[in-house]
Amino acid sequence: MKIFLFTIISILFLGGCQYPAGEQHLETTTMKDNAQLRIATFAGGCFWCVESDFEKLPGVVKVISGYTGGRKKNPTYGEVSSGETGHIEAVQVYYDPSQITYEELLDYFWRHIDPTDPGGQFVDRGQQYRSAIFYHDEEQRRLAEQSRDTLTKSGRFTKPVVTEIVPFTQFYEAEDYHQDYYKTHSLKYNFYRTGSGRDLFLKKTWGRETGKTNTLKQKSQKPDDATLRKTLTPLQYDVTQKEGTEPPFQNEYWDNKKEGIYVDIVSGEPLFSSLDKYDSGTGWPSFTKPLEPANIVEREDRKLFIKRTEVRSKRSDSHLGHVFPDGPKPSGLRYCMNSAALRFIPKEDLEKEGYGEYLKLF
């Protein structure tokens, strides 16, 4: 009998977000709690897990589990989990933009889902568990699409990124039973999460990078122009601030073969790894992909009367170079950078320079 009962309990636990809860009428979420907070809406499978993950972030004030994207008003959990309402399990993240940015939330989101799975997330199967980003305005749409494209180009995944980016319509809070489930039902939650396969996938894909955003370390503001002129060499200033170009074959890193990482000369943002560096024959340091895609911004550049893609750093907005679609496989990209925009940190100095997390790469 004990074996039978444990089997039944295990099935219920492993059902995770498909385990039924009490039904009740729901209310929509609004901004009335605090006018200075902003809202981001994400779907990443079981909302117990997504809520738990986002509530760990500094700058996130609260996270609400609920349903969105479907046809039925005020759906119940049972209705949504049946897959017949068109709704997706989702969370609304209330965050303070002075402490954390929407871009950082996006970066964190990618690190806690499988963006290549069109049929659900991990053990939870069905369209009601698929991943999605619901944008609240055009700026969120732009940033979400940019973030998705950067992830795709990074080569992190071999399969296509299929996470939807769609306009937000209405959000319905889930029943009280589901709010803060990881706290109120910690034993059941931990049992479910372990059995779901989520953390195994995330650890395999991201390693120690899972639990943080790339950009949270770099919080300092960009120095003013007078400071930049004092701290940068004339060439570094011209390249990073005036979008200049250094001479090929006559720059510091074009032929550098040492192991380590390349960071932004102004902010220290990690940008590229020696593992992705190759000899492109151009005379400039070239890479197949960024080390930290979230620290890279790509913009259209038509200055030479041809369409090119400029590459800039996220925090300091430094001009770095350009990316071209003529690189080697698997990315097929060539990130052609200016040495003057970079600082190289050899692997033996990573720990003392504050980049110890990257030692595992070498």
Q: What string of H, E and C letters represents the secondary structure of the chain?
A: CHHHHHHHHHHHHHCHHHCCCCCCCCCECCCCCCCCCEEEEEEECCHHHHHHHHCCCCCEEEEEEEEECCCCCCCCHHHHHCCCCCCEEEEEEEECCCCCCHHHHHHHHHCCCCCCCCCEECCEECHHHCEEEEECCHHHHHHHHHHHHHHHHHCCCCCCCCCEEEECCCEEECCHHHCCHHHHCHHHHHHHHHHHCHHHHHHHHHHHHCCCCCCCCCCCCCCCHHHHHHHCCHHHHHHHHHCCCCCCCCCCCCCCCCCEEEEECCCCCEEEEHHHEECCCCCCCEECCCCCHHHEEEEEECCCCCCEEEEEECCCCCEEEEEECCCCCCCCCEEEECHHHEEEEEHHHCCCCCCHHHHHHC
Name which of 81, 77, 162, 165 is nearest 128 in CA terms: 81
Name which of 4, 21, 2, 3 is nearest 188 in CA terms: 21
For residue 172, report the phi and psi dihedrals to the nearest 5 degrees. Answer: -115, 125
Residue 355 pLDDT: 85
What is the fold, at CATH topology level, of the domain defined by 225-361? 2.170.150
Residue 17 pLDDT: 61
CA atoms of 103 and 316, how far apart (whole Å): 15
Confirm whether 46 is a catalytic residue. Answer: yes
Confirm whether 17 is a catalytic residue. Answer: no
Of 161-170, 211-220, 252-261, 306-315, the least confident: 211-220
Q: Is the pLDDT of residue 89 over 90?
A: yes
Q: Are 47 and 77 in contact (CB under 8 A)?
A: no
Structure confidence by residue, pLDDT tens digits, 261-281 = 999 999 888 999 999 999 999
**Cα angle, residue 331 at apex, residues 326 and 333 outer, rounded to 5°:** 30
Mean pLDDT of 230-250: 94
CA atoms of 112 and 17, how far apart (whole Å): 16
Q: Is the pLDDT of residue 309 over 70?
A: yes
Work out the pLDDT band at 29, boundaries 50, 70, 90: very low
Work out the pLDDT band at 255, boundaries 50, 70, 90: very high
**Cα angle, residue 149 at apex, residues 257 and 216 outer, rounded to 5°:** 70
Domain 2-209 is classified in which CATH homologous superfamily?
Peptide methionine sulphoxide reductase MsrA (3.30.1060.10)
Of 63, 333, 336, 341, which is the active-site residue?
336
Of 46, 91, 239, 263, which is the active-site residue?
46
Mean pLDDT of the chain: 86
Boundaries of every domain in the chain:
2-209, 225-361
User: Which position has the token pair 């889902």?
Assistant: 113
Residue 98 pLDDT: 81
Residue 78 pLDDT: 92
Mean pLDDT of 29-57: 82
Angle between helices 102-110 and 47-54 (to 10 degrees): 130
Work out the pLDDT band at 357, boundaries 50, 70, 90: confident
